[in-house]
Amino acid sequence: MITPALVQQRVRALPSLPATVVALGEAVADERSTLDRVLEVLAKDPPLSAAMLRLSNTVGYAGDRPVNDLRTALQRLGFDAVLNLSRSTAVIREFREAREFSSLRLWQHSVAVGLTAKSICRLQGDRSREDSAFLAGLLHDLGKFALDICFADEYHPVVEAFREGEPLVEAERRILGVTHAEVGAMVAENWNFPPELAQAIRGHHEPPPGDFLANLLHLCDLLVRTRLPNGPSDEHLVVALETLPSFQEVFKPDKEFDVERLTFAIDDELEHAVAFVQLAFKD
């Protein structure tokens, strides 16, 4: 077993977000910020700027015409989307290596969850939550990387049990006494992400009633795993949507919703996730 105090101690040793991303967050949070100020921040990190330009042309952000300059990309995306894309790119590039998991496959799953969460918000007409939903989905399994890096020896038997068919969260609780959801929330808190995002990460396997974001993550994680299994325990995973408490939390009974349309949207987002991760992995 490992203690929360030890987890906190080792998690603090993880790489922090790049200075450019931190400065970008401060600029976006400042209501007085201008487009030129945000461009000035991004100009200090040419690789990140190049990645932002590539991503603005794909994965649901592209418009009718390709974007060839960063100013146009920022105008198209908006400040919140720019901040979340830059955070996403930085996190994926920072955690491209894993000992116990395929980092490429894990990020594809995470991006697919994020894109599906964003798609659900869009289909519901809730545009204000789209970018936070995407970021939460992207980061929901970050605790797996943290455990893989910070507790490599202790995490190995957990992953072995998972590969033999035991659900990962159950194996983590039994062997470690802490789950990747709890560890991921600690990382998000250390990186000064919004408290509601850390709370959603912590609760994405057992979402509390009334927490829309945690329930959205739980639902999207299940939906993606039915199409892209994470391991043996997912191979025969079947989800009856209407019976899930998280489905009832996300899709209120008084709202009409086209489930078939959602199904097609998820299949599209899986393809987008592959393209997104491949672009983010590029140097």
Query: How many residues appear in the chain?
Result: 283
**Structural domains in the chain, sorted by start:** 18-94 (no CATH), 96-283 (1.10.3210.10)
pLDDT band at 142 (very low <50, low <70, confident <90, very high): very high
- The identity of residue 241, as a single letter, is L
pLDDT for 121 beyond 80: yes
Dihedral sign for Cα 280, 113, 224, 257, please.
negative
Cα 101 from Cα 148, distance rounded (Å): 8
Instruction: Render pLDDT for 178-194 as a digit per residue (tens, 0 to 9).
Output: 999 999 999 999 988 88
* Per-residue pLDDT reduced to its tens digit, 61-70: 655 677 788 8
The tokens for 29 are 């949070």
- Give the separation between CA 73 and CA 45, rounded to whole angstroms: 16
Mean pLDDT over all residues of the chain?
A: 86
- pLDDT tens-digit readout, 225-276: 888 888 787 777 887 877 889 988 888 765 666 667 777 777 777 777 877 7
Tell me the whole-structure pTM to 2 decimals.
0.86
Provide CB contacts within 8 A for 158, sequence distance 6+.
147, 168, 171, 172, 175, 176
**118 neighbors 59 (Cβ within 8 angstroms):** no
∠ CA 239-112-197, rounded to 5°? 95
Cα separation values, 49 from 24, 37, 40, 230, 271, Å: 12, 14, 11, 32, 24
Give phi and psi for 265, each to the nearest 5.
-65, -40
- If one compares 42 and 267, the residue with the highest pLDDT of the two is 42
Q: For the segment 58-101, what is each residue's pLDDT rounded down to a tens digit? A: 655 655 677 788 888 888 888 888 888 888 888 888 888 888 88
pLDDT recorded at residue 22:
87
pLDDT at 254: 58
Q: Please tell me what DSSP assigns to residue 234.
A: G
104-118, pLDDT tens digit by residue? 889 989 989 998 998
Handedness of CA 256, 262, 264, 268 (dihedral sign): positive
Q: Which helix (H) or strand (E) holds 39?
A: helix 35-42
- Three-state SS for 233? helix
- Lowest-confidence segment of 4-13, 138-147, 162-171, 226-235 by average pLDDT: 226-235
Contact present, 100 and 148 (Cβ < 8 Å) = yes
Tell me how far apart the alpha carbons of residues 214 and 221 are, in angstroms, rounded to a whole number: 10
The pLDDT of residue 17 is above 70: yes
CB 283 within 8 A of CB 89: no
What would the two tokens of residue 118 be?
Answer: 């964003």
Residue 101 is predicted with a pLDDT of 86
Rg of the chain over Cα atoms, rounded to whole angstroms, equals: 18
**Could you tell me the pLDDT band of residue 130, with boundaries at 50, 70 and 90?**
confident
% of the chain with per-residue pLDDT over 90: 33
The tokens for 16 are 């922090």
The pLDDT assigned to 63 comes to: 59
Tell me the CB-side half-sphere exposure of residue 37, using CA atoms within 13 A. 13
> Is the per-residue pLDDT at 220 higher than 60?
yes
The 8-class DSSP code of residue 33 comes to: -
CA-angle at 28, arms to 25 and 29, nearest 5°: 85
Identify the band that residue 137 occupies on the pLDDT scale cut at 50, 70 and 90.
very high
